[in-house]
Amino acid sequence: MTVKAYGANAATEPLQAMDITRRAPGAHDVQIDIAFCGVCHSDIHQVRAEWAGTLYPCVPGHEIVGRVSALGAHVSGFKIGDLVGVGCIVDSCKHCDDCDAGLENYCDHMVGTYNGPTTDAPGHTLGGYSQQIVVHERYVLRIRHPEAQLAAVAPLLCAGITTWSPLRHWKAGPDRKVGVVGIGGLGHMGIKLARALGAHVVAFTTSESKRAAALALGAHEVVVSRHAEEMATHAKSLDLILNTVAAPHDLDAFLALLKRDGTMTLVGAPASPHPSPQVFNLIMKRRSLAGSMIGGIPETQEMLDFCAEHGIVADIELIRADEINYAYQRMLMGNVKYRFVIDTATLAA
Ligand code: NAP
Ligand code: ZN
């Protein structure tokens, strides 16, 4: 079926309206009429070929929510009309250790929601800045939030799970002091989720203007990371730092804030490397520098259910599809509170 989408034909071109095709649902497929799609900084990195290997046309979008509109003959877990979501994963090998562990995100054959290998036209996957998507049922998530919150649920499918997974893995919770660096789409979810898990949350921002906002999001304390004396008040005190910054920066300034055995996990994925940290900053307190990539399907469902139960959604700015290039400019200036979400009904206009 032909559907309307927004995408780019080259790294140097703005996104524009285009028609794409979706396969008819196979036996295990769920066809979803997309209602909203969040805008992740990874979309900018990939559509502009800042990471290796972008294929064109590139239709980004991996924070997808909508309603089931058709089902393959063997799908048992969903029915037409269900509210569902799709995140960053639309396929994987389904039988390796990672898939068996529900960590499809680490499967060597994980297929991204866009720019991944597929036999569907045009030979690579096309994402959620579109009216419809067809996905194997294993990678479809159930949404239990009220429908009125649907647009603000969309960012949970990437920003939510990408912060939830490391927070859970490194045991954010009561009696743990957790830092969240960078208050953008990921960072604002990291603050909300770490707070809801019971941790003492310290937000680190380069933007003086986000000080009050970070407290409103749930941080107990806020540090403007450009101020060395403010940073020093947290020296050797944090159990975990979740670093979401989308650009290379000095990691040592944050490593010095970890207590003995503390971990800083990088989730921000800048196009060029960070300056290498000082080895002594790691060995002196047995600190760890780690990374984490999105999350598996079962933990994504766990996060969505936790958020539904605790009334957690993203703070969003709803945009029309034809505002996407302007939205990218604002994200690059750190000027979004805190996630743009495309109303895909505007694709039809
Ligand atoms: P975003 O909304 O643009 O937020 C990034 C934040 O980083 C900014 O709001 C800003 O916060 C801070 N920042 C400081 N200096 C910056 C600079 N020079 N350039 C850009 N940001 C700067 O981005 P996002 O959607 O949260 O994504 C953040 C990063 O995570 C991206 O690199 C993205 O590709 C990556 N990501 C990784 C995964 C994964 O699986 N690991 C998943 C999704 C996204 P302050 O104003 O508070 O300083
Ligand atoms: Zn993302």
Q: What's the CA-to-centroid distance between 156 and ligand 2, angstroms?
A: 10
Distance CA 125, CA 57 (A): 10
CA–CA distances in Å: residue 54 to residues 59, 87, 117, 125: 11, 19, 11, 11
pLDDT digit string, tens, across residues 26-85: 999 999 999 999 999 999 999 999 998 999 999 999 999 999 999 999 999 999 999 999
Q: What's the CA-to-centroid distance between 77 and ligand 1, angstroms?
A: 35
Q: What's the CA-to-centroid distance between 104 and ligand 1, angstroms?
A: 23
- Read off the pLDDT band of 334 (50, 70, 90): confident
Ligand nearest to the CA of 225: 1
- Read off the pLDDT band of 340 (50, 70, 90): very high
Peptide bond into 57 cis (omega under 30): yes
Q: Is 59 in the pocket of ligand 1 (CB under 6 A)?
A: no
CATH fold group of domain 160-291: Rossmann fold (3.40.50)
Ligand 1 atom closest to residue 203's alpha carbon, by position in its atom list: 47
Give me the count of residues in the chain.
Answer: 349
Q: Is 205 in the pocket of ligand 1 (CB under 6 A)?
A: yes
Residue 177 · residue 199 · CB < 8 Å = yes
Q: Is 237 in the pocket of ligand 1 (CB under 6 A)?
A: no
Distance CA 89, CA 103 (A): 11
CATH fold group of domain 2-158+295-348: Quinone Oxidoreductase; Chain A, domain 1 (3.90.180)
Q: Is 172 in the pocket of ligand 1 (CB under 6 A)?
A: no
For the segment 222-242, the average pLDDT, to the nearest whole number, is 98
Q: Is 268 in the pocket of ligand 1 (CB under 6 A)?
A: yes
Residue nearest to atom 44 of ligand 1 (CA): 42
- Read off the pLDDT band of 349 (50, 70, 90): confident
Distance CA 266, CA 244 (A): 7
- Read off the pLDDT band of 284 (50, 70, 90): very high
Number of Cβ atoms within 10 Å of the Cβ of 160: 32
Q: What's the CA-to-centroid distance between 150 and ligand 1, angstroms?
A: 23
Distance CA 106, CA 89 (A): 10
Residues with CB under 5 A from ligand 2 (ion): 40, 42, 158
Query: Is pLDDT of 211 > 80?
Result: yes
| Run of H or E including 252 | helix 252-255
Q: What's the CA-to-centroid distance between 176 and ligand 1, angstroms?
A: 24
Q: What's the CA-to-centroid distance between 11 and ligand 1, angstroms?
A: 20
For residue 34 the two structure tokens come to 């997309």
Ligand nearest to the CA of 41: 1
Ligand 1 atom closest to residue 207's alpha carbon, by position in its atom list: 46
* Mutation probe of ligand 1 site: the residue of 39, 41, 202, 227 with most atoms within 8 A of C-beta: 41
- For the chain, what percent of residues have pLDDT higher than 90? 98
Residue by residue, DSSP assigns 175-237 as T-EEEEE--SHHHHHHHHHHHHTT-EEEEEES-GGGHHHHHHHT-SEEEETT-HHHHHTTTT-
Record the pTM: 0.97
Ligand 1 atom closest to residue 339's alpha carbon, by position in its atom list: 2
pLDDT at 338: 96
- Read off the pLDDT band of 226 (50, 70, 90): very high
For the segment 333-337, the average pLDDT, to the nearest whole number, is 90
Residue nearest to atom 11 of ligand 1 (CA): 182
Q: Write the CB contacts of 212 (distance below 8 Å, at least 6 apart in sequence).
A: none
- Domain residues of the chain, as ranges? 2-158+295-348, 160-291
Distance CA 12, CA 315 (A): 30
Q: Is 262 in the pocket of ligand 1 (CB under 6 A)?
A: no
Q: What's the CA-to-centroid distance between 170 and ligand 2, angstroms?
A: 21
Nearest to 15 by CA among 118, 123, 128: 128
